[in-house]
């Protein structure tokens, strides 16, 4: 009897069951922006190298700005065509559309030297660093 109750409970709470996935989907905070704009950022003494996945997004639909030490990237995908069954029902749809945006704090960048290319669904940015770091403000000694 105890094994039967345990099996019923385990079957009820299986991962593919509604209740087994309820917590995962409800608390999945990483479901839109970060999934849409996966990013790698590398840094060396001379520059930052940023690679952002933008599959299916045309470069004319990508906006890049750099201001006050922050790189802002936004993109939009208007729509896409899903396959459906004979009755017009979508079998599965995981692709997303709409507006996506991310910001990256990358200080000490030579704004005039920033380069961007987009090839095979990957946006590549090179942000060269300034020779000397800009100092904003002044240190004040206590007398």
| Cβ atoms of residues 128 and 46 within 8 Å | yes
Q: Is the pTM of this model over 0.75?
A: no
How is residue 113 written in tokens?
A: 């030297």
| Cβ atoms of residues 52 and 39 within 8 Å | yes
122 or 1, which is more confident: 122
Residue with tokens 């990483």: 30
90-127 residue pLDDT tens = 766 666 678 889 999 999 999 999 999 999 999 999 99
Q: How many CB atoms lie within 10 A of CB 38?
A: 13
23-80 residue pLDDT tens = 444 434 444 444 568 999 999 999 999 999 998 889 999 999 999 999 999 998 876 6
Residue 133 falls in which region: left (phi positive, over 0), alpha (psi -120 to 50) or beta: beta
């Amino acid at each position: 009897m105890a094994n039967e109750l345990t099996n019923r409970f385990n079957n009820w709470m299986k991962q593919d069951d509604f209740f087994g996935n309820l917590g995962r989907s409800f608390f999945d905070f990483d479901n839109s922006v970060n999934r849409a704009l996966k990013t790698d950022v590398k840094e060396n003494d001379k520059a930052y190298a940023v690679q952002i996945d933008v599959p299916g997004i045309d470069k004319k639909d990508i906006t890049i700005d750099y201001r006050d030490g922050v790189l802002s990237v936004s993109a939009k995908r208007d729509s896409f065509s899903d396959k459906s069954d004979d009755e017009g029902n979508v079998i599965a749809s995981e692709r997303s559309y709409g507006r996506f945006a991310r910001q990256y704090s990358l200080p000490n960048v030579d704004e005039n030297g920033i380069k961007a290319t987009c090839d095979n669904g990957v946006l590549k940015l090179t942000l060269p660093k300034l020779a000397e770091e800009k100092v904003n403000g002044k240190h004040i000694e206590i007398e």
